Amino acid sequence: MSGLSKSRLLAHRQCPKRLWLQVHKPILAPAFDAATQARLDSGNQVGVIARALHPGGLLIEAADLRQALRDTAEALLAQPTRPLFEATFEHGGVLVRLDLLLPAADGYRLIEVKSSTSIKDYHLPDAAVQAWVARQAGLTIQEVAIGHIDNGFVYPGNGDYRGLLKEVSVDAEIQPLLGDIPQWVAGARSTLDGGEPSIAPGPQCETPFPCPFLEYCAPPAIATEPGYSVDDLPRGKSLAEQLRTEGYDDLRDVPVDRLTNPLHQRVQACAQNGSAYLDPQAKAILGNLPYPRFFIDFETYAPCVPIWPGTRPYAQVPFQWSCHVESVDGGLSHQAYLAEGPDDPRRPFTESLLSAVRETGPVFVYNAAFERSRLREMTGLYSPTWRFGSTMSSGASSICCPSPASIITTRSSTALGRSRRSCPPSPRKWPTKAWKSPTGRWRRPPSRKYSIPRRLKTGGRPYAGRSWIIAGWIRWLW
C-alpha cells in the first residue's frame, strides 16, 4: 500500500497520471528551475514569518515522518495550549503537516499559510485534506483558515511584520469537500496500485499548476526547417489548440479566412512568403525623430515579503537601469546603474537615472506602462526633496507620446539573441548579416520596420510579438 500525503492527493486531483509518474518514475521530472525555486523560497520565508507572529510556539522539525508524528503527540500531551508549527498527523495512511495549529476555546485553529494575496480555488481542497486528517486523527478543530498575504500591508521596518498575513476562515467553503476526501484517497490508491494511466495532455497539464511531466506526456514538436508551427501565433495559445484539433500543425497550411486577427494574418503572411513585414511608414517616422535618442531598460525586484520600510508585498522595487544614448552623428554611449548591498535601492536608482538623462528626446522603453508606473512611484516618493519632481511626473504622464504617429513598435531584443533584461540597441547598431547562435542555428538580422519579426529559437521564423515602444517625449528638467 503506497503512502499518501496532501500533496499527492492534490496531484491526483489534477491528473492521476501525474501522481503515478511522481511516485513510480520521478526521474522523468526535471529539476526545479530558478523561478520555481524562488517561489518555493518565498513560501518558506512567509512560513517563517507566520511562525514568528505567534511567539512561544514549538516547531516540529523532524524530517523523519514517524518521528514527527511522535514529537507532535508528545507536544500536545505536554502543553496542549502551546502553538504548534508543522504539527504532523496521519489517518488511514494519509499524512499531513499543518502550518499553524493554534489553541482555541475547546480545541484548535488550523491555519494554512499561503504566499498569494488572496484565497485561490485550489487552496480549498488543500485546507480540506488538512482538516479531514487532523479531525480523523482525534484533534478537535474549531476553525480552518487560510492565512494569505495582505497586499495593503506597508512594512514599517525593524522586522515588524504584524499585519502581513490576513487570516480568513474557510469552514463553509471546505465543508462540501470533506465528504469527498475518502473517495479521493481511494482513487489515488487505485491509481498507484495499477499501471501507468493513459491520459492525453489537456488543460490539466497547466491547471492549477504546470505539470513537471509535461515534456514526457507531450514531447515538444520537432520542427523541420523551414517549418512554421501554429504555436508561433502571438497570444494565440487557445487558437493553436483549435487549429491542431482541425489538423493544422503548419501555420502556412491554415486557410487564410481561418485567421481573423490582423496580427495573426500578418504572421502567417510572413511565414508563407518567407520575408519580414515592413510598414512603409516606419522609415519616415523613425527618420523624423530628433536626437539624442535614449534607449532605457529597467529591472525590478518584487519580493513577497517586503524588505525595505515603506514597501508593500510584491511591490516592484527598481534596482537596475541601462541607458544607451544615440547622438545625431551615430555615436552610441552607455550608462548604467546596478544596486549593490542590502540598502534600499530606490533613491540611488532614481537619482542616478535622472542625472544620466537631462536632455529632451525620444525615449525607447520595453514596456511604456511599466516604466511610466515606476517613474511615477519614484518621483512621488522622493519629489519633496527634488526641484524637478513635479516636472518629471508630468513628463512621465506623456510617456506614450503626444501623437499616434509617435508610437512605434520595433522588435530587437530576441531577434538579436539578447536577453530581454538588456537595453535594446540603437537601430543603427542592428546587425546586417546572418550569424550562428550558440545553439548552432543560423540567425538572420531584423529589418528596420514597424513590427520587426522575432526569429524564434527554432530558427529564422518571422514573428511579430511583444514590442519595444518609442515612448514619447520626456523632458528631464533640473
Element (H or E) spanning 67, and its range?
Answer: helix 65-78
Domain co-membership, 241 together with 322: no
Q: Phi and psi for 4 in degrees, rounded to 5?
A: -120, 150
Task: Report angle CA 118, 314, 419 to the nearest 5 degrees.
Answer: 125
Bridge partners (DSSP) of residue 362 are 473
The pLDDT mean for the chain works out to 79
Please determine, for residue 168, whether its predicted confidence score (pLDDT) is greater than 80. yes
Minimal CA–CA distance to 145: which of 104, 111, 101? 111
Give the pLDDT mean for 221-243.
Answer: 75
Examine residue 210 and state whether it is found in any structural domain, yes or no: no
The count of structural domains within the chain is: 3
Distance CA(474)–CA(353), nearest Å, equals 13
Same domain? 252 vs 315: no
pLDDT at 462 over 90: no
* Between residues 199 and 376, the one the model is more confident about: 199
**Quick one: pLDDT band at residue 472, thresholds 50, 70, 90?**
very low
Q: What is the pTM of this model?
A: 0.73
Q: 481511494: which residue's cell?
A: 186
- Would you say residue 37 has pLDDT above 60? yes
408 lies in the same domain as 340 = yes
The residue segments making up the domain with residue 253 are 228-274
* pLDDT for 443: 40
More confident residue, 362 or 399: 362
Least confident of 121-130, 284-293, 336-345, 405-414: 405-414
Are the CB atoms for 84 and 103 separated by under 8 Å? no
Q: Which of 60-69, 141-150, 360-369, 436-445 has the lowest mean pLDDT?
A: 436-445
Residue 213 lies inside a defined structural domain of this protein: no
In a domain, 412, yes or no: yes
81: in domain: yes
* pLDDT tens digits for range 240-293: 888 988 988 888 999 989 999 988 998 898 888 888 887 778 778 878 888 888
The distance in angstroms from the start CA to the end CA of the chain is: 73
Comparison of pLDDT for 378 and 300, the residue scoring more: 300
Amino acid letter at 140? Answer: T
Q: What integer is the mean pLDDT of 103-114? A: 96
Do 270 and 334 share a domain, yes or no? no
Q: Are residues 294 and 251 in the same domain?
A: no
C-alpha cell, 253: 497550411
Please tell me the predicted confidence (pLDDT) of residue 278: 78
In the prediction, which pLDDT does 227 show? 61
What residues have CB less than 8 Å from 8, skipping those under 6 apart? 19, 22, 23, 188
CATH number at residue 39: 3.90.320
Q: Identify which has the larger pLDDT, 297 or 420.
A: 297
Asked if residue 284 and residue 264 are part of one domain, the reply reads no
| pLDDT tens by residue, 58-94 | 999 999 999 999 999 999 999 999 999 999 999 999 9
Using a pLDDT cut of 90, give the percent of the chain over it: 52
- Please state which of the ranges 108-122, 155-169, 312-326, 362-376 shows the lowest mean pLDDT: 362-376
Range from 42-51, 125-134, 272-281, 439-448 carrying the lowest mean pLDDT? 439-448
Nearest to 375 by CA among 359, 392, 361, 390: 392
From 246, 274, 302, give the residue that closes a domain. 274
Is residue 246 situated within a structural domain?
yes
Strand, coil or helix: what is 190?
helix
- Closest CA relative to residue 305, chosen from 29, 43, 16, 22: 43
User: Band of the pLDDT at 6, cuts 50, 70, 90?
Assistant: very high
- Residue 48: predicted pLDDT: 96
**344 and 248 in one domain?**
no
Per-residue pLDDT of 278-295, as tens digits, reads 777 877 887 888 888 888
